[in-house]
Amino acid sequence: QVQLQESGPGLVKPSQTLSLTCTVSGASISNGDYYWSWIRQPAGKGLEWIGRVYSSGSTNYNPSLESRVTISMDTSKKQFSLTLGSVTAADTAVYYCARLGSLRGTTYFDSWGQGTLVTVSS
Amino acid sequence: EIVMTQSPDTLSVSPGERATLSCRASQSVSSNLAWYQQKPGQAPWLLIYGASTRATGIPARFSGSGSGTEFTLTISSLQSEDFAVYFCQQYNNWPLTFGGGTKVEIK
């Protein structure tokens, strides 16, 4: 059974860069049937898809964040990572990593990490 | 991007009663729609994909219907563990987008 675990600083200063890592166990991150994705959720609000990375290294980002986001993958460590630059208080949220189907008609999130709260504050 | 709108924002239901949640897409998403359940302090959990297919281990009291722009999640007889927030998500177009959620609370 696939498990995902987010890690990274819980506090980031405004204008700095947020960096998180997701470690995957119980599944191969190189499996071409899946994308690996980040989603965030401000407190008491809805879900926002941030972007995804594929085993080839190809990426796709939400246009609302694209200028500030990079998602990358390290298959040897079974990890994928998120960096979000020039953060403001509006980036304060619980950040989730999740597995996303890559085959036609399967692009839903079938496994999620527990989430990690990142607060942007000086 | 495709905007997903859920209604109502909050649904008050007594245990054992039926709950009907709606999700509308700003343009057709065919049957490329998923539903998730989220409990306080937890990650969302996949309930339904393909608009009507239950995910592994999901009880039969959960059912999904619809296609195009109008979708419904029905919980036939609410159990105590079903009180939660429910989100819909379209995966017909990038970027992937979610509805704002419907909170199902105890009446």
Taking only the tens place, the pLDDT of each residue in A95-119 is 999 999 988 889 999 999 999 999 9
Report how far residue A37's alpha carbon sits from residue A49's, in angstroms, rounded to the nearest whole number.
8
Q: What is the pLDDT of residue A31?
A: 83
| Spatial CA neighbour of B20 closest among B62, B48, B55, B59 | B62
Is residue A32 over pLDDT 90? no
Amino acid in position B101: G
Query: Residue B39 forms beta bridges with which residues?
Result: none
Nearest to B98 among A47, A61, A106 (CB): A47
Q: Which helix (H) or strand (E) is B3 found in, with range?
A: none
Q: Is B99 on the interface with A (CB under 8 A)?
A: yes
Contact A99, A110 (CB under 8 A): yes
Query: Residue A73 forms beta bridges with which residues?
Result: A80
Number of neighbouring beta carbons within 10 Å of residue A9: 13
| Spatial CA neighbour of B107 closest among B35, B9, B10, B20 | B10
Contact A97, A88 (CB under 8 A): no
Distances from the Cα of A32 to the Cαs of A2, A11, A28, B61, B98, in angstroms? Answer: 15, 34, 9, 33, 25
Number of neighbouring beta carbons within 10 Å of residue A86: 12
Residues of chain A positioned with their CB less than 8 A from the CB of B55: 110
Amino acid in position A113: G
* Distance between A68 CA and the closest CA of chain B, angstroms: 16
Is residue A72 over pLDDT 90? yes
Report how far residue A9's alpha carbon sits from residue A87's, in angstroms, rounded to the nearest whole number.
13
CB contact under 8 A, B45 and A49: no
Three-state SS letters, chain A: CCEEEEECCCEECCCCCEEEEEEEECCCCCCCCEEEEEEEECCCCCCEEEEEECCCCCEEECCCCCCCEEEEEEHHHCEEEEEECCCCHHHCEEEEEEEEECCCCCCCEEEECCCEEEEECC
Q: What is the pLDDT of residue B75?
A: 97
pLDDT in tens, B41-87: 999 999 999 999 999 999 999 999 999 999 999 999 999 999 999 99
Residues of chain A positioned with their CB less than 8 A from the CB of B50: 105
Nearest to B43 among A62, A107, A114 (CB): A114
Query: What's the whole-number average pLDDT of chain A?
Result: 96
pLDDT in tens, B13-47: 999 999 999 999 999 999 999 999 999 999 999 99
Nearest to A47 among B1, B32, B87 (CB): B87
Q: What is the pLDDT of residue A104?
A: 86
Q: Is A5 on the interface with B (CB under 8 A)?
A: no
